[in-house]
Structure 1
Amino acid sequence: MVVTLVAGLATPVHGRPIGTTIRYTEHGIPHITASDHLGLGYGYGYASAQDNLCVLADTYLTVEGKRSLHLGPDGPVNSGVGSVSTNLNSDLYFQRINGSGVIDGYARSVSPPVRDLVHGYVRGYNRYLAQSGQTCNGTARPIAERDVYRHVYAITLVSGSGAMIDGLVSAQPPAAVTGQAPVEAAALVQRLQPDFSLGSNAIAAGSEDAANGGSVLLANPHYPWQGVRRFWQAHLTIPGRLNVSGASLLGIPVLAIGHNEDVAWSHTVSTAVTAGLFEVPTVPGAPTEYLVDGVRKEMTSQEVVVEVRRPDGSIGAVTRTLWATEYGPVLAGVSGVPLPWGATVYVLRDANATNFRLLDTWAGLNRAGSVGDLRETLSKTLGLPWVNTLAVDRRGNSLYADIQVAPHVTDEHAKKCSTPLGAVVFPQSGTSILDGSRGECAWGSDPDAREPGLLGPGRLPVLIRRDTVANANNTPWIANPDAPLTGYPRVLGTTATELSMRAQELQLEVRRRVGGTDSLPGRGFTNETMRSLLFADRSRAAEVVLADTVRMCEAFPGGKAPSGAGPVDVTAACAALARWDGTFRLDSSGAAFFSRFWLRVRSSPGLWKVPFDPAEPLSTPNTLAVDLAEIQQAFGDAAQELTAAGVAHDAPLGASQYVTRAGQRIPIHGSQHELGVLNVITPVWGDGGYTDVVYGSSFVQVVEFRAGRPPEAHSLMTYSQSTDPSSPHHADQTALFSRGDWVRERFTEKDIHSSPALRIVRLVGNLR
């Protein structure tokens, strides 16, 4: 055991003593203990900066709106807090927010304990920054509380405004209005579809399905492996008041996923759409004026100034006036689909624009004593911005709740108020486009909602049970197949619609485990069987179509498949697929080939001979239409693609799917969401195969409650704790992940003190 004493600050003010202790156990996991929230935040800020200083510094530069000044307007962007094409657009977006006063409102609205956490975090971060002497290529600087609130607000908006930054900052009035250009409805619907490669799985097994009579939770978010939306693990304790372990997104000093002595919870990205559009008529000859109920109104304008570094090193400025109506800011387009400003204008309303409650929601979950407490916190705060919650408690209850911020757009309201474009877009995407010329078409409200315009908790889907609930970014409909949820508005998701391969696999794995038919010992969930289930790496797509694919391959004349470049020899691929067990483990030969084939064909028209049947959601559609020429050619094209990348058709997955850390290849198991593998890995394909990971299993945790025992938890940070390449914890857990190993969590005092890697850091002095 090593004890390090870190002295206090040199110039303290208002004499606030601190006594924060950070105990590090295996793999650099910090157990932070303090007497109050101020000290807890202090330790969190210090320890998280030590592991991830430069990623955090880059984020604070981003939300300050200063990237163009330091990195140039066309330099590399930070996409962790919003989808954006250039630094200039990023800065315009954040400078608009910073100039609006909304961040001051955020700081005033949080509870005193959260305010103390943020205050302490800032001081701890700044202390490590000063101590380290790092500059992070000139981006690192001391921060203030407003920087933390800016960051949290950006994360809150990431599924709404943050997904449309380019369109929000490029909307400019035309010199003259000559009519209204049409919008490509089909293209818009396509752009509005969610990307569930950035999603999550969670399984919450109550006492009826837990082998030991307690409860078991799997938390398996699929989040970025780079940038500020990485998770960071910690154990936070205020003796007698708080004892919670888990992970948060970098820079957020409350745990988003984790457990305490009595409750374990996780989140999955919801299908709820958190923003909507209004189509508003402009005044002829005055494009910055608009009409509501025949009343002429002026748009509000905000002049935004962004400092930019020119190629010659000189500093200039870009000034842009951005416009808004009473519904929200004007929007010029969505992901490359133009929304023209003409006789009408499109504006965005983000349901999270006034959601300052996320930190208090997570702080409440950290303190909960039952799934009932969790539900009450979710309902009272209504602060979760874009996620479902799944949880178990010590009493054997399981919870699924889609209690989050969502627009009050009922199906009836959409039917009454949708524009012609909205009538096409809303049913297919859940994004409303309402008639802004009629005041009655503004969003509605519920009496139990925290603010006007939101669906109240009483309308939102919830299940509390004693068996199992699960979610893989599917709609609330089948959180439990025996108790389908229906009757919720389309804005939250669909019912009786086709499930993704991954959602099917999740529910089928639950059935197999409860029935004891999955080759694991016994029946029901334990900590061990839940971990084994996840890393079995079974592919639902392979289960459904592999046999058909092998028969197709073996029928190719002379062992040659058609391709765009002519016939190609696929005999090695045929043999590998015939032997393949349908898993994406490191030694799975044929898995890489199958993934490239399936990604080519999965959306093909006429793919299935047996269509989806809502009465059989876990087994339909099925039967691959192997007689289609485009399916056969896709097989040959996949063969050509592997050859061009230098990957043998029968190569084991571990030889062609890996990351490189400190010059060493670390093979990675798992596969893409589309393959129906629970252990999602979204890799980059190129020369050599899958050579890096963008999204995928990130912080993974399994927690089991049993009567009379402390929680038994195992976790894994797939990309490891630190983004600093010089840290010993930059790739250590990545190597564990490669091997399928887990970290046994140390939660009790006895466990912490018995760690052979125990290192203690005491932060003492006065907090200024």
Structure 2
Amino acid sequence: MARWGFRARLSTAATAAVAVISTVSAAGPPPAAAPGPAAPTIRYTEYGIPHIIASDWEGLGTGYGYAAAKDNICTLARTYLMVDARLSRYLGPDGKASPGEHQDTTTNLNSDIYFQRINDDRVVERLVDQPAPNGPEPEVKEAIRGYVRGYNRYLAETGAGNITDPACRGAAWVRPITEMDVYRHAHAEIIMGTADALLDGEVNAAPPGASVSAAAPAASPEQTAERIREAMAASRQSSMGSNALAVGSQGVSGGTSMMLANPHFPWQGKNRMWQSQLTIPGKINVTGASLLGFPAVNIGHNDDVAWSHTVATVSPFGLFDVQVDPLNPTNYLVDGTWQKMTSQQVTVDVLNKDGSTGKVTRTLWATRYGPITTSVQGIPLPWVVSAHAVRDVNMDNLRALNTWFRLDQATDVRDVVNTLETTQGVPFFNTIASDRKGDALYADIQATPNITDEHADSCLTATGRLLFNQSLRLPNVPPVSIFDGKRSACDWPDDPNAVAPGLLDPHKQPRLIRSDYAGNANDSAWLANPEQPLAFPRVMGDTAAPRSLRTQELLLTAQNRIDGTDGLPGRGFTSSNMRQLLFADNSRAADLALDATVKACRDTLFGLVVVDGNLVDISGACPVLAAWKSHKYTSDSRGSWLFENFWAFLQNGQAIEKLPWRIAFDAKDPVHTPNSLDSGNSAVRDSLARAVLSLRNAGIALDAPLSAVQNVTRGGEKIPVHGSIHELGVLNVVTPAMIDGKVDIAFGSSFIQQVRFTAEGPPEAYSLLAYSQSADPNSPHYADQTKLFSAGQWVTERYTEEQIAASPVLEVKVLS
């Protein structure tokens, strides 16, 4: 394994420490590494990126904790308040909390009740006490011990009253943390795929007569399944996503492989990413980004491997329909015997309106399968004849910490697969990777419920069967199971090949290693590469079904570049053209439908359309759309915003294959079908009229440049943001929303990294943190990379010690 940057000669001059190293050739084994610095050292380079070097894991964690707190202490402190179930105590019970993927999904009180039950049950404490692989590896424990020391040191040096971020300056809830706070935060991130859908239903569940939700009228199995499916689909469309593309030796022009990481994570709150480099000479040298508060790299590269994650199509939870006793609805039937639900009183402190402190207590209910819920994604599941219990595949998962620490040290893509299989810690994510040897990997190996196709066929209820199968027909929507809880045999069985109870055998989960490319844009594993379709249990997603337009765009971008048919010079990927293609902001929807839309506009008699009781003149839209020949969502594009509104009205939450295409989806040609929009269909004309009316009512010109309507405000300055929504098939996804009373980006390109390996020498990499390193408006790194993102520019990474030392803005902090 090649190593660069580990023969360090450390010297100290005044208060600065500068590391000098010599380069190690890949041709031979590395020499013995010199010991690391006596104290953890943070070297800041351009854009506030910290390069942390230490002699051991605890020191590495200390540097990480200090630097993370310096940039984002308010975001972190509020997160620790959340997992400690004390939001209501300090911020009031009616405030909004964000325990899952989305922003402001529940109240502080509901969030506190949810996490207090987990804390009362000592869920995380029990996991920490287990031996690996189910408990944390020793190096994980050491790093987290150091992280706590570093975070608390920064807070002690600064003092809550001197924090520069007004979001928490002087707040009583900014406090020193413990190791358990960090583990609870990690656990909350691991289970967040379930929280948005089920948290409110769990904390409000009560027997018939005791709650409003229990009195909701029962719907038919068909109605319930369709409503849940629609709600899950809507949530998924406006949630986290990602693109990732690994290119092997046969797909690059120069070098051995390349990797493009493009996660679409939130721009606010606990799910922000933060960039760092972590080095222990002779042990680890990794750079990339992690979710705030994780003293490891979640997405990044080391000397030999680069990897990323994308949100997968596995549902991290399943439901069990349990028949209840009509005279005592807290009794439920299993294998012909009545069993008692367990009740648990959960109490949290709340801040009253008069400033006093009170308490709120709720009684929560659970079965052998898990907690009772009375809703899924806001859709009622009445507790009447039966009740529904939740099993979360990640509730007993802290293994993800081990997964990421080991990925940080991987030597090739086969080592990545081994890590995924032996930890099964990845929660609801795919993994895409490339290595120095020239291989490209796609793997959907994660914590998956052990639901084989046979088990599903045997145990799904009528509603569950409809929901499971409907979800399989929609790209991006996980197949949610509802099993017959009357039969204990319908619980998820234990598999001897799995790491933990109830998990699917990792060897049954899909993976693909190729020398051309493998990628994912949040559809199932079926077409990681169209030349080699994958098969897998239905619980992991669909096969032979339409792909999203973004998946089509990713696959076409990869294949056309490798073939040299995309209009750019040469064949194969280079560092330059890979970055160029991501920020081209091309819309697959426009490629497929713009010409037909223009024709529909021009064919409209007198340009007049009656829609929703309005007479709309659409004639002005025809030349605007016809002139938008690039099909790109660049900041200077005109007509793109009009088309985006048109497409939103046309699709209106429907699956892509439901639009009025002349050529239907064909599983034999899934990347190019469906296609040919029917310009004569009235839905096309009416959707365009609605878009024109919408823009005129908002005072937006039909030919307004994208920069005039899609931007973010930082420090009083409006910064244009290029890219567009997932539905338009643009790789550089950005999802605008109203946040705290102003337009911002809710989800979108966050940490972006492009890595190129060669046979010898260190990796060549470029990166960008779209929302910048700090959420503190008074930080110099609050918007600096956001401006780069706006301009389509990237940061050239400093990875080796020579590169770090050469930074013209180098600042060094020694934590002696």
Name the TM tier (shorter chain). over 0.9
Q: 2: CA distance between counterparts of 1:3 and 1:393?
A: 41
1:585 aligns to what SS in structure 2?
coil
Q: CA deviation at 1:596?
A: 0.6
**Pair 1:179–1:545, CA change in 2 (3 A):** closer
Structure 2 residue identity aligned to 1:304: V
User: Does residue 559 of structure 1 match 2:612?
Assistant: no
Query: What does residue 140 of structure 1 align with?
Result: 174
User: Does residue 636 of structure 1 match 2:689?
Assistant: yes
1:469 aligns to what SS in structure 2?
strand
Q: 1: CA distance between counterparts of 2:217 and 2:264?
A: 41
Query: What does residue 648 of structure 2 align with?
Result: 599
Q: 2: CA distance between counterparts of 1:306 and 1:433?
A: 31
Contact 1:683 1:695 in 2 (8 A): yes
- TM-score where L is the length of structure 2: 0.89
User: Does residue 195 of structure 1 match 2:229?
Assistant: no
Q: CA deviation at 1:179?
A: 12
For residue 150 of structure 2, the aligned residue among 124, 140, 158 is 124
Query: What does residue 523 of structure 2 align with?
Result: 474
For residue 193 of structure 2, the aligned residue among 159, 164, 168 is 159
Query: What does residue 304 of structure 1 align with?
Result: 346
Q: 2: CA distance between counterparts of 1:265 and 1:623?
A: 36
Q: 1: CA distance between counterparts of 2:522 and 2:78?
A: 30
User: Does residue 256 of structure 1 match 2:298?
Assistant: yes
1:65 aligns to what SS in structure 2?
coil
1:192 aligns to what SS in structure 2?
helix
Contact 2:346 2:363 in 1 (8 A): yes
Q: 1: CA distance between counterparts of 2:572 and 2:683?
A: 43
**Pair 1:640–1:338, CA change in 2 (3 A):** same
1:613 aligns to what SS in structure 2?
coil
Contact 2:75 2:270 in 1 (8 A): yes
Q: 2: CA distance between counterparts of 1:638 and 1:452?
A: 51
Query: What does residue 101 of structure 1 align with?
Result: 122
Q: CA deviation at 1:561?
A: 4.0
Contact 1:180 1:343 in 2 (8 A): no
Structure 2 residue identity aligned to 1:100: D
Q: CA deviation at 1:80?
A: 4.9
Structure 1 residue identity aligned to 2:611: S
User: Does residue 368 of structure 1 match 2:410?
Assistant: yes
Q: 2: CA distance between counterparts of 1:62 and 1:577?
A: 47
Query: What does residue 241 of structure 1 align with?
Result: 283
CA shift digits 1:251-294 (9 cap, x unpaired): 11111000000000000000111110000112342211212111
CA shift digits 1:521-556 (9 cap, x unpaired): 211111111111100100000000000001111222
Matches of residues 503-582 of structure 1 in structure 2 within 5 Å? 503-580=551-628, 581-582=630-631
Q: 2: CA distance between counterparts of 1:282 and 1:308?
A: 34
Structure 1 residue identity aligned to 2:127: Y
CA shift digits 1:172-221 (9 cap, x unpaired): 11249999934522102222336144200000000011111400000000
User: Does residue 410 of structure 1 match 2:452?
Assistant: yes
Q: CA deviation at 1:427?
A: 1.0
Contact 1:402 1:461 in 2 (8 A): yes
1:188 aligns to what SS in structure 2?
helix
User: Does residue 608 of structure 1 match 2:648?
Assistant: no
For residue 60 of structure 1, the aligned residue among 52, 70, 80 is 80
Q: CA deviation at 1:447?
A: 1.9
**Pair 1:93–1:544, CA change in 2 (3 A):** same
Contact 1:180 1:344 in 2 (8 A): no
Contact 2:524 2:542 in 1 (8 A): yes
CA shift digits 1:574-619 (9 cap, x unpaired): 2121111110001110001100110111246552222111111111
Query: What does residue 21 of structure 1 align with?
Result: 41
Query: What does residue 10 of structure 1 align with?
Result: none
Q: 2: CA distance between counterparts of 1:528 and 1:480?
A: 23
Q: CA deviation at 1:626?
A: 2.9
CA shift digits 1:354-393 (9 cap, x unpaired): 1120111000000011111111011000100110000000
Contact 1:361 1:382 in 2 (8 A): yes
**Pair 1:81–1:484, CA change in 2 (3 A):** closer
For residue 273 of structure 1, the aligned residue among 308, 315, 318 is 315
Q: 1: CA distance between counterparts of 2:175 and 2:334?
A: 46
Q: CA deviation at 1:423?
A: 1.7
Q: 2: CA distance between counterparts of 1:607 and 1:695?
A: 29
**Bigger shift: 364-373 or 632-641?**
632-641
Structure 1 residue identity aligned to 2:58: L
2:345 aligns to what SS in structure 1?
strand
Q: CA deviation at 1:134?
A: 2.6
1:304 aligns to what SS in structure 2?
strand
Query: What does residue 645 of structure 1 align with?
Result: 698
1:164 aligns to what SS in structure 2?
helix
CA shift digits 1:547-577 (9 cap, x unpaired): 0001111222333444335233334422121
Query: What does residue 185 of structure 1 align with?
Result: 225
Contact 1:5 1:763 in 2 (8 A): no
Contact 2:261 2:299 in 1 (8 A): yes
Q: 2: CA distance between counterparts of 1:435 and 1:178?
A: 22
**Bigger shift: 74-83 or 319-328?**
74-83
For residue 486 of structure 2, the aligned residue among 426, 437, 448 is 437
**Bigger shift: 445-454 or 475-484?**
445-454
**Bigger shift: 385-394 or 551-560?**
551-560
Q: How many residues align?
A: 752
Which blocks of at least 5 consecutive residues in structure 1 are unaligned? 7-16
**Bigger shift: 422-431 or 667-676?**
422-431
Q: 1: CA distance between counterparts of 2:571 and 2:517?
A: 13
Contact 1:502 1:675 in 2 (8 A): yes
User: Does residue 498 of structure 1 match 2:539?
Assistant: no
Q: 2: CA distance between counterparts of 1:343 and 1:672?
A: 42
Query: What does residue 725 of structure 1 align with?
Result: 777
Q: 2: CA distance between counterparts of 1:258 and 1:611?
A: 39
Structure 2 residue identity aligned to 1:158: M
**Pair 1:450–1:162, CA change in 2 (3 A):** farther
For residue 396 of structure 1, the aligned residue among 438, 460, 478 is 438
**What root-mean-square deviation, in Å, do the aligned CA atoms of Structure 1 and Structure 2 show?**
2.1
Matches of residues 2-13 of structure 1 in structure 2 within 5 Å? none
Structure 2 residue identity aligned to 1:122: V
User: Does residue 484 of structure 1 match 2:526?
Assistant: no
Structure 1 residue identity aligned to 2:137: S
For residue 352 of structure 1, the aligned residue among 384, 394, 397 is 394
Give % identity.
51
1:264 aligns to what SS in structure 2?
strand
CA shift digits 1:95-117 (9 cap, x unpaired): 01000011112322211110011
1:367 aligns to what SS in structure 2?
coil
**Pair 1:78–1:273, CA change in 2 (3 A):** closer
Q: 1: CA distance between counterparts of 2:787 and 2:677?
A: 37
- TM-score where L is the length of structure 1: 0.95
Contact 2:326 2:384 in 1 (8 A): no
Q: 1: CA distance between counterparts of 2:354 and 2:568?
A: 64
**Bigger shift: 694-703 or 176-185?**
176-185
Query: What does residue 8 of structure 2 align with?
Result: none
Query: What does residue 476 of structure 2 align with?
Result: none
1:450 aligns to what SS in structure 2?
coil
**Pair 1:89–1:204, CA change in 2 (3 A):** same
User: Does residue 232 of structure 1 match 2:266?
Assistant: no
Q: CA deviation at 1:413?
A: 1.1
Q: 1: CA distance between counterparts of 2:374 and 2:622?
A: 49
Contact 1:562 1:632 in 2 (8 A): no
User: Does residue 86 of structure 1 match 2:107?
Assistant: yes
Contact 2:100 2:196 in 1 (8 A): no
Contact 2:208 2:215 in 1 (8 A): no
**Pair 1:213–1:753, CA change in 2 (3 A):** closer
**Pair 1:179–1:256, CA change in 2 (3 A):** closer
Q: 2: CA distance between counterparts of 1:119 and 1:310?
A: 36
Query: What does residue 33 of structure 1 align with?
Result: 53
User: Does residue 419 of structure 1 match 2:478?
Assistant: no
Query: What does residue 428 of structure 1 align with?
Result: 470
Q: 1: CA distance between counterparts of 2:513 and 2:584?
A: 28
Q: 1: CA distance between counterparts of 2:711 and 2:13?
A: 35
